[in-house]
Amino acid sequence: MSLTVGIDVAKATLSIYVLPHKQHLTLPNTAAGHAQLLEHINGQAVDNLLLEATGGYERALMRALSQAGLAVTRVNPRRARAFAEALGKIAKTDPIDAQVLAHMAGLVKAPGQVVTPEREALRVWVQRREQLVQQRDDERRRLKQAELAPLRQDLLDSIKHLNRRILTINNTIAQAQSALDDALGRRLRAVRGIGQVTSASLLAYLPELGPLTRKQICALAGLAPYNVDSGKHAGKRRIRGGRAPIRRVLYMACLSVIRQQPDFKARYERLRQRGKCAKVAIVACMRVLLSRLNAMARDQTEWKMASS
């Protein structure tokens, strides 16, 4: 009999529920706690372990379980909460959440790829760069409102310091990207309009780039339009869900690609002429861009300029 396991992850603890044994465990969210969980289920057939994304507190556990050869599914907390309410579970505690996740594990099975140390290192540095860029942009906005000369100088010094740190991290990212997949990184950077930041973000945030289909990779990035129809009502299709960090990066990259590649510029202008608003036209171009990058990674080929 196969087990389905729900794990509610907190900063310090793991609340675990095992079906069909109806067994509840509480373990520390540490390497020792992860080892205890593996020992507890050792020798038993495990169909699926399901947990929520909790801002990174789940990453070490996922890595330990995946490296042990177990299928681990991570879901958006909003999906888990909707599933709980569908079951009539209005109250919310860690044990209740773990029980709900265990039931959900029997229905939702989408194991993620095992994250290698090289990809994890790249992700960490890409995220750190994003944090520093955000700090620098905040300082620039404050500078526009600063009137006191000493305050303006302090803000300028801070911006200069952040720029130096960003340049240093750019070099670290380049090294981490080469260690992960230098060949794919070079092919991505060869695309006009895509630079170091975009290629590194694609490798860090989309490890599935290549193996998935065009529709799957677009849905994963949150670029798939979903219908909102009911009866005779045909609503406007909208994108939703997916991985927001890579979507933000692709948005800025696509603006550059539209400027530098004639076929994308022509596609964008045709959509605008058909009455599509600018953002809808850009998102449509983003889907095409990601689909073609996915095909590049899958076939291990170079970028080909398409006719308009």
**Contacts of 204 by beta carbon, 8 Å cutoff, 6+ apart:** 119, 122, 123, 126, 127
Last residue of a domain, one of 75, 105, 135: 105
Boundaries of domain holding 168: 117-190
pLDDT of 28-60, one tens digit each?
999 999 999 999 999 899 999 999 999 889 999
For residue 305, is it within any domain? Answer: no
**Cis before residue 20, ω within 30 degrees of 0?**
yes
Q: What average pLDDT is seen over the chain?
A: 93
Last residue of a domain, one of 105, 131, 162: 105
pLDDT value of position 29: 96
CA distance 180 to 74: 23
For residue 12, is it within any domain? Answer: yes
> Could you tell me if 64 and 129 lie in one domain?
no
> Could you tell me if 133 and 81 lie in one domain?
no
> Could you tell me if 83 and 121 lie in one domain?
no
What DSSP assignment string belongs to 42-105? TTS-EEEEEEE--TTTTHHHHHHHHHTT--EEEE-HHHHHHHHHHTT-----HHHHHHHHHHHH
For residue 307, is it within any domain? Answer: no
Question: CB-hemisphere CA count at 13 Å for 269?
Answer: 9
Structure-token pair, residue 225: 């339009």
Last residue of a domain, one of 85, 105, 125: 105
**CB contact at 8 A, 73 and 49:** yes
**Contacts of 139 by beta carbon, 8 Å cutoff, 6+ apart:** 155, 158, 159, 162
For residue 177, is it within any domain? Answer: yes
CA distance 274 to 281: 10
Would you say how long the chain is, in residues?
A: 308
pLDDT value of position 279: 93
Low-confidence ranges of the chain (pLDDT < 50): 308
> Could you tell me if 84 and 136 lie in one domain?
no
Number of domains in the chain: 3
**CB contact at 8 A, 262 and 308:** yes
CA distance 125 to 135: 15
pLDDT value of position 308: 47
CA distance 64 to 61: 5
What DSSP assignment string belongs to the chain? --EEEEEEE-SSEEEEEEETTTEEEEEESSHHHHHHHHHHHTTS-EEEEEEE--TTTTHHHHHHHHHTT--EEEE-HHHHHHHHHHTT-----HHHHHHHHHHHHTT---PPPPPPHHHHHHHHHHHHHHHHHHHHHHHHHHHHH--SHHHHHHHHHHHHHHHHHHHHHHHHHHHHHHHHHHHHHHHHHTSTT--HHHHHHHHHH-TTTTTS-HHHHHHHTT--EE--EETTEEPPPEE--S-HHHHHHHHHHHHHHHHH-HHHHHHHHHHHHTT--HHHHHHHHHHHHHHHHHHHHHHT----PPP-
Full-model pTM:
0.84
> Could you tell me if 156 and 236 lie in one domain?
no
For residue 73, is it within any domain? Answer: yes
